[in-house]
Structure 1
Amino acid sequence: MSPPDTQHDYKQQGEATAEAQRRIQEDLERRENQQPKQAQQGAMQAGARKYPEPPLTGQHLETPGVEADLALKPMYDAPYYKGSGKLQDKVAIITGGDSGIGRAVAVLYAREGADVAIVYLNEHQDAEDTKAAVEAEGRRCVVIPGDVSDRAFCFEVVKSVVDEFGRLDILVNNAAFQLHVMEFEDLTLEHFDRTLKTNLYGYFNMAQAAAPHLQAGGAIVNTGSVTGIQGSKNLLDYSMTKGGIHAFTRSLSAHLMPKGIRVNAVAPGPVWTPLNPSDKEAPQVAHFGEQVPMKRPAQPEEIAPAYVFLASAQMSSYITGEILPVIGGYGGS
């Protein structure tokens, strides 16, 4: 037992510390009360040009969603992005390349010197528009319709691209199926199966078909999602597949490392593409993206440079098995 005077000293010390803490609190409260009240901040704009902020045009599309039908057109052409030959004379396959992120990636890959093959479901006008945009950059483009959940189709895609261009250097797995379900009991087996077949089987099929044709320095870039990191209560099946894509990315990167092939993923947050207006009703679409700290959805051209970075041997040769979140900021309080 401590001597009585020592106990008394410790007690006084505790009282003094508590009083010091109260002084700090009172001083902070006084300073905060003196600060002028800040008006509600709008969406963050840090890009080369201004991007749309909620409320957006409330529009609902029939799945799978056609970009040409969107009243508010996604911004994909990145007019201030200057190419520098980072993918010069490479050949890339981009699934879901007809619109949204895929279209923006196709344009920037072409601007960096790559020829591009676009794989898409049935959005023929969108695919032709993307083809024209790639060709406007001075590169070749082929468009191939079909379903990536069909294994034979995936192998045929790779064969036809190699026959056409003589090589394959980059695979971008980007095709996706997404539909919100408000009640768990309403998630049907057909719906669940379609999500897994497109988002997981499709990535597996394309990667397995492409891998034998990729040489050292080649790259696979998968599209994950913030939902695969944080989950989403109304996107149970989609979130599960995106988490699976992240795990697939890390596992495949280790498997292909001895061959000099890098495998990475981009995990976007909300992005303005046909996928979301075909998933939500118009009133929800109007507020799409406002929940993130930047208070707006990304435009495809803001996401596409990450795909250039991960595909380019000049920029990311020491990066493989990584998941790169591009999610509009992390909140905190």
Structure 2
Amino acid sequence: MSKPENVPEQEQEQPGDEYKMQPKPEIIRDDYLGSEKLKGKATLITGGDSGIGRSAAIHFAREGADVAIVYLEEKEDALETKKLVEKEGRKCLIISGDLKEESFCKEAVRKVISEFGKLDILVNNAAVQFPKGEVEEISSAQFRMTFETNFYPHFYVVKEALEYLKEGSIIINTTSVTAYRGSSHLLDYSSTKGAIVSFTRSLSKMLVDRKIRVNSVAPGPIWTPLIPSTFDEVSEFGKKVPMGRPGQPSEVGPAYVFLASKDSSYMTGQVIHINGGEIIGS
């Protein structure tokens, strides 16, 4: 597996582009063999153009699912994800828009239904972060944007999707290790991720009688476009975890397959931690 060691310093603007990253993230292992765990499923992944979202998309496709991805403006990355999904022999719908707008969230779900005729698996994954070292440095506008991007769309998309999700459907939310251990430079980001944990737990209880399962994945430091677009010293990124390195999207994607498939049939309201060895409260 390619490990992002000796990473050169690099700068990008939010939300970041995967095609500009050095080295390129590993999205799926060459030796990952699909076994039709998601055969015939229709999936929607927000933030599916790159990083963890792209990894989930390609893993889903290799397992037999058609995939729709939502992205903001990273068209080159989105088209590459579409190419990779189609290479697996599955359909891929790319949808561009701003998830902060409830009307767009509704439109995105409806486009999936129009294209695939159904929706079986929903992954809420899109997020931004703006590191600040002091509370006073965080503007009200930034705080609002972080919540409106990272958290509000979970509610907007789920509410619209529930018209189409049925018994056996799956919702997976991307939270973060920062929801559990906090972060001295990501106050607003980690707060949204904590909200996502509570949202997952509460929603799982609301939907358990409908036989719709809801779980989360809490990644640690993973080498995605969010990193060079938000941190100055990327060469040091991820080195403080016990494993001493950042993780690759390829090391996170299989967790989404697990939660989306019958392999996790006795799990709801839970969080899978993929963080390089940090021991944290669950």
Alignment TM-score, normalising by the size of structure 2: 0.97
Q: What residue identity is the alignment partner of 1:163?
A: S
**Deviation readout 1:58-98 (Å, 9 max, x if unpaired):** 11111110111112111103211100010000000000000
- Native 8 Å contact 1:92 1:116 kept in 2: yes
Q: What residue identity is the alignment partner of 1:180?
A: P
- Native 8 Å contact 1:60 1:285 kept in 2: no
Q: Which has the larger radius of gyration?
A: 1
Q: What residue identity is the alignment partner of 2:278?
A: Y
**Deviation readout 1:301-322 (Å, 9 max, x if unpaired):** 100000000010x201110000
Q: 2:141 aligns with which of 151, 166, 190?
A: 190
**Deviation readout 1:135-177 (Å, 9 max, x if unpaired):** 0000000100001111010111111111111110000000001
Find out whether 1:64 has 2:12 as its counterpart: no
- Structure 2 residue aligned with 1:309: 258
- Structure 1 residue aligned with 2:129: 178
Q: 1:326 aligns with which of 260, 274, 277?
A: 274
Between structures 1 and 2, the one with greater helix share: 1
Give 1:103 deviation, angstroms.
Answer: 0.5
- Native 8 Å contact 2:70 2:94 kept in 1: yes
Q: What residue identity is the alignment partner of 1:292?
A: V
Query: 1-side partners of 2:220 and 2:279: how far apart?
Result: 13
Give 1:331 deviation, angstroms.
Answer: 5.7
Find out whether 1:79 has 2:30 as its counterpart: yes
- Structure 1 residue aligned with 2:235: 286
Q: How many positions carry a matched residue from both structures?
A: 280
- Structure 2 residue aligned with 1:96: 47
Q: Percent identity?
A: 52
Is 106-115 or 209-218 further displaced after alignment?
209-218
- Native 8 Å contact 1:61 1:277 kept in 2: yes
Alignment TM-score, normalising by the size of structure 1: 0.83
Q: Structure 2: where are the runs of 5+ without partners?
A: none
Q: Structure 1: where are the runs of 5+ without partners?
A: 1-48
Runs of at least 4 residues off by over 6 Å: none
Q: CA RMSD in A?
A: 1.1
Query: 2-side partners of 1:83 and 1:223: how far apart?
Result: 22
Q: What residue identity is the alignment partner of 1:51?
A: K
Q: What residue identity is the alignment partner of 1:315?
A: D
Find out whether 1:298 has 2:247 as its counterpart: yes
Change (3 A) 1:218 1:331: closer
- Native 8 Å contact 2:4 2:25 kept in 1: no
